[in-house]
Amino acid sequence: MFGKLELTEKRFEELNQELCDVEVISDQNKYKSLMKELKNLTPIIEKYREYKSEKNNLEEAKKIISESSDKELKEIAELEIQSSRENIERISDELKILLLPKDPNDDRNVIIEIRAGAGGEEAALFSSVLFRMYSMYAQQKRWKSEILNVNDTQLGGFKEISFMISGEGAYSKFKYESGVHRVQRVPDTEAQGRVHTSTVTVAVLPEAEDVEIEINPTDLQIDTYRAGGAGGQHVNKTESAIRITHIPTGVVVECQDERSQYKNKDKAMKVLKSRLLEAKRSEQESEMAAERKSQVGTGDRSERIRTYNYPQSRMTDHRISLTLYKLEDILNGNIEEIIEALNTADRAMKLAGEQNL
């Protein structure tokens, strides 16, 4: 590990020198790339230098004990040795986590697709609850939310809704939300007060950059139609809604949120590129099944990940056996505790996987 840290520190120094070069500064793409690399290395180097400082303190304290005849000074040095050893152990553990391979998508914007599953109108209503939860969390982070497409119902639910959240690190926070979310509650339409179980599927996609996914225009079938509202009535007299079919893969994307056909097409293309990038990523990960075993699930849409139980005010995340009895607080967007617990569990599993290699 420390050999790797020495090389990392050397690269850190090289980056600082390169970023002072006039030619690099004038090349915005290269400058931006190097700044991003420097930003990623900075927390590792700061922690490594903290480690080296503690090692120096330890050696100096040992030297005092071996060379000094002052009893009181030796006692102080003994305390310093104990403190430094504890700090070295803690910092070493933190360095192991910092050196874990970083998800290259973590800093990206994210596209979230929510679809009602089993449960009819009740599932559609809970889709709107999850959309509100994610939107409120994004507001807390001061991130921008933008609806890409929505298919709503007469009671205010969503058969499906897709939206983008833009902000640094958005994907790193939302990536664990992919999967089946189950809700248990008494619907307003239930006269006898029985608890119903419904499901909603969430898919989380990192926004694709143009350079990653090249799409041949001849591979696209683009159809226009009138945007429809709840119950099927038309809410727009012009054919502004867009449906794009990627012929080679069969992926279909629709967007009708904007009144402008051009804006709808732009949004639909963003979703299409992100879906194709996700399919590419999933294919690569399926080829590395061993790696999949050493991380918390982040992509399987058929995996039941969470249950929201209204009568008990309970939320349970089944992947890490986390249960919290503050459902209203969670549904109001306060999900940081859940996200951090998932992130911690993911890091622990990856650390265990690294140690078993």
C-beta separation of 174 from 150 below 8 A: no
Q: Give tens-digit pLDDT for 112-167.
A: 999 999 888 899 999 999 999 999 999 999 999 988 888 888 888 999 999 999 99
Residues of the chain with CATH 3.30.70.1660: 110-348
CA nearest neighbour of 319 among 284, 355, 336, 344 = 344
Q: Is this structure's pTM higher than 0.75? A: no
CA-to-CA dists, residue 163 to 75, 132, 257, angstroms: 62, 11, 10
C-beta separation of 224 from 264 below 8 A: no
Does residue 229 have a pLDDT over 60? Answer: no
C-beta separation of 165 from 140 below 8 A: no
C-beta separation of 6 from 48 below 8 A: no
C-beta separation of 5 from 95 below 8 A: yes
Task: Tell me which of 28-37, 93-102, 108-117 is least confident.
Answer: 93-102
If you search the block for the tokens 């732009």, which residue do you land on? Answer: 266
Question: Which one is predicted more confidently, 92 or 256?
Answer: 92
Gap between the Cα atoms of 96 and 349, Å rounded: 13
Class of domain 110-348: alpha beta
C-beta separation of 219 from 246 below 8 A: yes
- 179-185: strand order across its sheet: 144-152, 158-166, 110-116, 196-206, 179-185, 304-309, 314-317, 322-324
Q: Would you put residue 313 in left (φ > 0), alpha (ψ -120 to 50) or beta? A: left
Task: Tell me which of 164-168, 183-187, 250-254 is least confident.
Answer: 250-254
CATH of 2-98, one of 3.30.420, 1.10.287, 1.10.3470, 1.20.58: 1.20.58
Q: Strand locations in the chain, DSSP E?
A: 110-116, 144-152, 158-166, 179-185, 196-206, 220-225, 241-246, 251-255, 304-309, 314-317, 322-324
Residues of the chain with CATH 1.20.58: 2-98
